[in-house]
Amino acid sequence: MEKDSPIGIFDSGVGGTSIWKEVHHLLPLEHTIYLADSANAPYGEKPREEILRLSIKNTEKLLEMGVKIIVVACNTATTNAIKTLRSSYDIPLIGIEPAIKPAALHTQTKCIGILATKGTLSSDLFAKTSDLYSKNTRVIEVVGTGLVQEIEKGQKDSPFLKAMLIELLKPMIEAGIDYLVLGCSHYPYLIPTLKEILPQHVQILDSGMAVARQTKLVLQSMDLLTEQQQKPPEFFSNGNPEILRNLISKPSENFSVSYLDF
Ligand code: DGL
């Protein structure tokens, strides 16, 4: 592992680019490599063993590419696989989990909502975190059925998606939540639509910035932060690279997006 080696990031698909954006923003000198396992998305409905198998496959691909750290930019993969990955590989692994803690600490209504995949909400790791922080708070958990599939098609604000979100958020709004925690890295792309639906006082929390800060801290502690500008970001998808390109495209940004069979 060397300072100038890349940071590897993977997700079940295009959603983890919401995390990549934060990592790249905080660590602009670093070379980042992003793997979108879109051919196997969504992970959220798959059995734990399958999520684990896919997470191992992605990890090994990134190791082959010579990364110095891996960001698991997927709540479903983190909550179901990170423990096994950490015990199997000698590389720092950063995971992402729903931001229940800040929501539970700051809620005034004592009622918060969590929107996540079935795989995340049914995991042991999520249950532990949720138990820890939700003693005096009602937590309304909703599975975002169908949302990842739409985002994987490149949809962010279609009328169909909005209608789905109205239905999914109904129980949370009725219960009086004042925080909505996004427990899936695909969902930050829905924030503009979510804001149209939620009452104005409801705050939306995602974990992107926390993951970026943690990545920096770990690299710093291992003296692995690069000191000079590295190569532009590289994105690989085993699905449709155009959808990935559209999500991340910024006219001034230099990056490459390619198809890769992995
Ligand atoms: N982006 C993912 C997450 O954070 C996975 C969604 C899925 O593939 O179901 O959970």
Distance 44 CA to ligand 1 centre (A): 6
* Residue 220 confidence (pLDDT): 98
**Residues lining ligand 1, judged by CB closer than 6 Å?**
11-13, 15-16, 41-44, 74-76, 117, 120, 148, 184-186
Higher pLDDT, 134 or 252: 134
Task: Compute the chain's Rg from CA coordinates.
Answer: 18
The DSSP symbol for 83 reads H
* Residue 132 confidence (pLDDT): 85
Tokens representing 166?
A: 């109205």
Q: Is the pLDDT of residue 250 over 80?
A: no
| CB contact at 8 A, 176 and 110 | no
Mean pLDDT for all residues in the chain: 95
Q: Give the CATH architecture of domain 100-205.
A: 3-Layer(aba) Sandwich (3.40)
Cα–Cα dist 139/164, whole Å:
21
Please report, rounded to a whole number, the percentage of residues in the chain having pLDDT higher than 70.
Answer: 99
The mean pLDDT of 22-48, rounded to a whole number, is: 96
CATH class of 7-96+208-259: alpha beta
Task: Please write the tens of the pLDDT for every residue from 218-247.
Answer: 999 999 999 999 999 999 999 999 999 999
Length of the chain: 262
- pLDDT-based confidence at 249, cuts 50/70/90? confident
- pLDDT-based confidence at 252, cuts 50/70/90? low
* Residue ranges matching CATH 3.40.50.1860 in the chain: 7-96+208-259, 100-205
CA within 13 Å, CB half, 11 = 24
The side-by-side arrangement of strands in the sheet containing 234-237 is 93-94, 69-72, 7-11, 32-36, 234-237, 256-259
Task: Please write the tens of the pLDDT for every residue from 98-139.
Answer: 999 999 999 999 999 999 999 999 999 899 888 888 788 999
Q: Which atom of ligand 1 is nearest to the CA of 74?
A: 4
Q: Which atom of ligand 1 is nearest to the CA of 16?
A: 1
* Residue 251 confidence (pLDDT): 64
- pLDDT-based confidence at 156, cuts 50/70/90? very high
Tokens representing 187?
A: 């969902």
